[in-house]
Chain A
Amino acid sequence: MVITTLLVVVMIFLIFRVIPGDPALIILGTEADEAQLQALRSRLGADRPLIDQFIAWLLGALRGDLGVSLRFNQPVTKMIADRLMVSVPLALFSVALVIGVSIPLGVSLALIRSRPVELTFSYLSQLGMAVPSFWVALLLMMLFGVALRWVPLGETVDWQRNPAASLRALALPAIALALPAIAVVARYVRGGLLDQLGQNYVRTALGKGLSFPRTVYRHALRNALMPVTTVLGVIFADIIAGAVIIETVFALPGVGLLLVTAVGYRDFPLIQGLALHIAVVVVTLNFTVDLAYRVIDPRVRLDR
């Protein structure tokens, strides 16, 4: 885990060495004169060689100090902590939607077995996977934000004041983020379950008098969820990546929006700090998925 994370940080540094861009010039723009640029460069410390900046950053990071953002002139740790207040609930909300919708949906589709329903689902899920999420996001805003006015747009999340309103403010982005994932996962659930239902042990279970729902939920579904868990691990990472686009479209001040900006401004300390956090989260998620296998797999789990 530690090695993976370290590799990510080193790779970002290497990528940074090859992409052109002067943070001071990007921050001040085409209107800046030379004196203004020089003054800002020396303030930022961005006039030092990148390898020096990297070593300084790494030494700082080892002491738990991620440095100060070039673009925003604020401590990176504090900025990321603030952004996690938006991004973590958003990710959890979407993951909850993905699991809460796609598993029942996949199961029902596997059990219904009607041709028209199958076709409709197949069509919709293709659409769900193909349609870009930023476009879905714009459509959702138009429908629920402008036409129906159910959800306020541009609301920021302040959990202390009004948790319900905060949750509502995150609803559209979470849906936009979850939709493609739902399409994928529901397919896996349906396919996996159909597979399992054709297996001999299901026939045996039914034959020995076990009820159909009990057979499905206790035996077939559990086995069907094994591959789904693997997919979910990938989907979680997708959601973190997708948040970059969704947060930009919804103007949500989360980690994703910060990352886009940090890259655009060549904000080296901020990018490194964000990369470190995201790498840790993704690595942790993969580890959690590994653990989840043990929970789901009856061969590992102790029977009650």
Chain B
Amino acid sequence: MEKMERHVGKALIVIMASAAVLASACATPRQPPAADSSVQPTPQAEVSQPTRLVMRTMTDPDNLDPHISAASLTQQIMLNVFEGLVKPAPDGSVVPGLAESYAVSADGLTYTFTLRSGARFHNGQPVTAADVQYSFDRLMGKRSPDGKPLTNSLADVERITTPNDATCVIKLKQVNASFVSLLSTLAILPASNDGQHDKMPIGTGPYRFVSYEPQQRIVLEKFADYWQDTRDMIDQIEFRIITDDQTALLQLQSGAIDFTNVSAEQLSTLGSAFKVVSHPANSVFILGMNHARPPFDALKVRQAIAHAVNKDAVIQAVFNGYAVKLGSNMSPVMARYYQDGLQDIYPYDPTRARALLAEAGYPNGFTTTLSISSHADLYGRTAQIVADQLAQAGIQLTIETVEWGVWLDRIYTNRDFDMTLIDFTGKIDPQAVLDRYTSEFRRNFINYKNPTYDQLIEQAVRAIDAATQIERYKQAQTVLAEDVAAVFLLDYEFHWAMKPQIQGYTPYPMFFHDLSRLRLAP
């Protein structure tokens, strides 16, 4: 007790002391000086004023260490700091990154990467095969005390070797068609920075990490020694962390920030003072049903629900028309893999819905619960419309709103729900998009199980030739649609509002602000 008292006293002192030092001190760390001469601005940049941009991001990074991080919003920023052996391209394919080129053996099991000469880390050290080895070892758990991998992505890798300083050979246990695509987000880190990756991350990308202040900002600076020409890139980019959408819009209008995402609603109030770039998000927004619970285990009931939902009305009401209707778990943005024509296999038809319900043994419909997260506006707004639509077919929905943490725990992990709404964010790898409906997928939270589907996905990922792979993914989408694994609603658009001087904003089918393409017009 005595100790406790002392502690409370201490807390009091902290409060009083901080009040007292207000006028005199502020512990906010300033930007640290550049670590070495290699990151000095180029001579041209010294002549003119350094260019600077303030962009909004919605939340704090989940982790600065790219091998720990999994959040899309962190990737959106940090993919400018880190690179893999390959890099994502705006069309969803991959292009050479830290590997200049690669070759695949005829059996599809051995990948030989030739490392780019002249690539450097932000601390000036050259990128060596040892760093590549280190990074993969770390991801595969060979450097963790418990030996557990940091990701499941490399589960198919048998071993990685580096025969010389410019070559890295990766041998797989079995064919994995997604393998190269996976590498685009697996960062190569310097072995010399071990233990510091989550504090002062060092990468090889066009921008280097400068500082992070929780709930305030992340600051990046152009890396002049990047392996591509950086002369026209913007010198410094600050990501301001602003949670509230309305606050972000007001800050854009007041000139405090230069770039933010805006909702379809806000778009109409924006006026012509700002430039807007819109593009489909490559998301999949679904109305999920728990297949393990009656009546959703009956196909006819799911078909009835699919007929009862008017996707076009949702698109108009919630997204002001800025969304594209889906039929399966893939957006048309994934052109290469997308199976067209599934949007209307269960067209909006309340009468048909009632008939199907009667056939399934529910002539008077039924009552169920739609559980949604409160963290984003779109769930609540969509829920109301869907509830109205289902009511017309005789299904009475009780909308239950839960906090995001509860949603993740109760619905996403423990699968305790009847119906829910959720949007899956864009990935360029079709395997990552479709895998979540396989029976054994750890977070197949809607409990969808279909051996045919599992087989198609397995065949796709093990296919050596691209044509077979694409064919299987398309067939898998058709199975999902016909089975009504979920009601696949739509892919919404992102709207990026920016001041008119910003040029070159390039949309990707994933979460990525490609800063290297941004320019500031005078």
Which residues does A use to contact B, with CB under 8 Å? 1-2, 5-6, 19-22, 25-36, 38-40, 42-43, 61-62, 64, 71-74, 77, 79-82, 84-85, 88-89, 92, 138, 141-142, 145-146, 149, 152-161, 163, 248-251, 253, 257-258, 261, 264-266, 276-277, 280-281, 284
- What residues of chain A lie closer than 8 Å to B15, measured between beta carbons? 84, 88, 277, 280-281, 284
Nearest CB on B from A9, distance (A): 10
- What residues of chain B lie closer than 8 Å to A157, measured between beta carbons? 26
How far does the alpha carbon of A284 sit from the alpha carbon of B412 in the complex, in Å?
43
How far does the alpha carbon of A89 sit from the alpha carbon of B69 in the complex, in Å?
35
How far does the alpha carbon of A149 sit from the alpha carbon of B10 in the complex, in Å?
42
Contact of A30 among B63, B242, B246, B422 (CB under 8 A): B422
B241 CB–A CB distance under 8 Å? yes
Smallest CB gap from B27: residue in A: A82
Per-residue contact bits, chain B 202-222, to A (CB 8 Å; 1 contact, 0 not): 000000000001111000000
How far does the alpha carbon of A266 sit from the alpha carbon of B407 in the complex, in Å?
13
Residues from 36 to 68 in B contacting A, C-beta threshold 8 Å: 60, 62-63, 68
- What residues of chain B lie closer than 8 Å to A257, measured between beta carbons? 215
How far does the alpha carbon of A276 sit from the alpha carbon of B256 in the complex, in Å?
35
Closest 6 CB pairs of A and B: A21-B405, A154-B256, A32-B70, A20-B409, A28-B70, A33-B152
- What residues of chain B lie closer than 8 Å to A250, measured between beta carbons? 247
A88-B153 CB under 8 A given contacts A28-B71, A30-B412? no
A-B contact count (CB 8 A): 199
How far does the alpha carbon of A249 sit from the alpha carbon of B251 in the complex, in Å?
11
Complex contact B254–A20 (CB within 8 A) = no
How far does the alpha carbon of A257 sit from the alpha carbon of B216 in the complex, in Å?
11
The 10 sampled A-B contact pairs (Cβ below 8 Å) are A28-B70, A29-B71, A30-B422, A31-B425, A35-B150, A39-B148, A62-B7, A88-B19, A160-B25, A249-B246
How far does the alpha carbon of A281 sit from the alpha carbon of B15 in the complex, in Å?
8
Complex contact A266–B405 (CB within 8 A) = yes
A31-B70 CB under 8 A given contacts A36-B151, A261-B215? yes
Complex contact A156–B25 (CB within 8 A) = no
Complex contact A30–B408 (CB within 8 A) = yes
Complex contact A159–B214 (CB within 8 A) = no
B174 CB–A CB distance under 8 Å? no
Complex contact B246–A85 (CB within 8 A) = no
B107 CB–A CB distance under 8 Å? no
Complex contact A81–B18 (CB within 8 A) = yes
Q: Counting chain A CB atoms within 10 Å of each CB, which of B11, B23, B213, B216 scores highest?
A: B11
- What residues of chain A lie closer than 8 Å to B198, measured between beta carbons? 73
Nearest CB on B from A281, distance (A): 6
Complex contact B26–A158 (CB within 8 A) = yes
Complex contact A138–B149 (CB within 8 A) = no
Complex contact A34–B152 (CB within 8 A) = yes
A145-B254 CB under 8 A given contacts A82-B28, A251-B247, A258-B215? yes
Contact of A6 among B4, B23, B422 (CB under 8 A): B4
Residues from 412 to 461 in B contacting A, C-beta threshold 8 Å: 412-413, 422, 424-425, 442-443
Contact of A25 among B4, B199, B242, B408 (CB under 8 A): B408
Complex contact B22–A19 (CB within 8 A) = no
Complex contact B7–A64 (CB within 8 A) = yes
Complex contact B406–A1 (CB within 8 A) = no
B517 CB–A CB distance under 8 Å? no
Complex contact A72–B60 (CB within 8 A) = yes
How far does the alpha carbon of A110 sit from the alpha carbon of B213 in the complex, in Å?
49
Complex contact B150–A138 (CB within 8 A) = no
Complex contact A73–B63 (CB within 8 A) = yes
A29-B214 CB under 8 A given contacts A38-B148, A84-B18, A251-B243? no
A34-B442 CB under 8 A given contacts A20-B405, A142-B250? yes
B305 CB–A CB distance under 8 Å? no
B146 CB–A CB distance under 8 Å? yes
Complex contact B214–A74 (CB within 8 A) = yes
How far does the alpha carbon of A72 sit from the alpha carbon of B212 in the complex, in Å?
10
How far does the alpha carbon of A258 sit from the alpha carbon of B4 in the complex, in Å?
25
Contact of B243 among A43, A248, A284 (CB under 8 A): A248
Contact of B8 among A73, A146, A251, A280 (CB under 8 A): A280
How far does the alpha carbon of A138 sit from the alpha carbon of B245 in the complex, in Å?
11
Complex contact B72–A29 (CB within 8 A) = yes
- What residues of chain B lie closer than 8 Å to A28, measured between beta carbons? 62, 69-71
Nearest CB on A from B151, distance (A): 5
Nearest CB on A from B44, distance (A): 30
B253 CB–A CB distance under 8 Å? yes
A264-B403 CB under 8 A given contacts A88-B19, A146-B254, A248-B243? yes
Nearest CB on A from B269, distance (A): 11
How far does the alpha carbon of A31 sit from the alpha carbon of B75 in the complex, in Å?
11
How far does the alpha carbon of A121 sit from the alpha carbon of B361 in the complex, in Å?
63
How far does the alpha carbon of A139 sit from the alpha carbon of B5 in the complex, in Å?
44
How far does the alpha carbon of A87 sit from the alpha carbon of B246 in the complex, in Å?
22
14 further A-B pairs in the complex, CB-CB below 8 A; given A2-B1, A249-B246? A27-B62, A38-B148, A62-B4, A77-B14, A84-B19, A89-B22, A145-B251, A153-B251, A154-B254, A159-B22, A251-B243, A253-B215, A277-B15, A280-B8
Smallest CB gap from A78: residue in B: B27
B410 CB–A CB distance under 8 Å? yes
Q: Counting chain A CB atoms within 10 Å of each CB, which of B12, B18, B255 scores highest?
A: B18
Nearest CB on A from B31, distance (A): 13
Residues from 214 to 235 in B contacting A, C-beta threshold 8 Å: 214-216
